[in-house]
Amino acid sequence: MLSVTPMDNFQLLFFAVILFVIGGFLLARLKYGSWTGAFLKGSIEQTYGEVVISRGFASSQVLKVVGLRGPDGDFVGLVLTVKAPLGMNMTPYRLSKVQAKELGDLLTSAAK
């Protein structure tokens, strides 16, 4: 007869939580069609472009601007992607249309 110890319950709960989180990301990826859409909770309607912030021998930093459509309307996504030899980091930002216009005005003022 098998006996279940508290440690077995913890391991089972731990792996169940891990599978739940990974499963949620995979379902969001399927629902929205991209990892960017999954993280920002919207489908990409248009990619406006990207700016290379820095590019080195084996690393790069790129800021991409995308227009998305979500359940609560249209919005703008900024995605900062940093690539290095042993890793990658993608940081998404979700902005309303008003916030995106304010950011554009600030950048225009700073570039004068």
Verify that 25 and 71 share a domain, yes or no: no
Does residue 37 lie in a domain region?
A: no
Verify that 59 and 21 share a domain, yes or no: no
Does residue 106 lie in a domain region?
A: yes
Does residue 9 lie in a domain region?
A: yes
pLDDT higher than 60, residue 25: yes
3-class SS of residue 96: coil
Average pLDDT, the chain: 87
Does residue 86 lie in a domain region?
A: yes
Q: Tokens 């989180």 map to which residue? A: 21
Verify that 67 and 21 share a domain, yes or no: no
Instruction: Give the mean pLDDT of 46-65.
Output: 91
pTM: 0.71
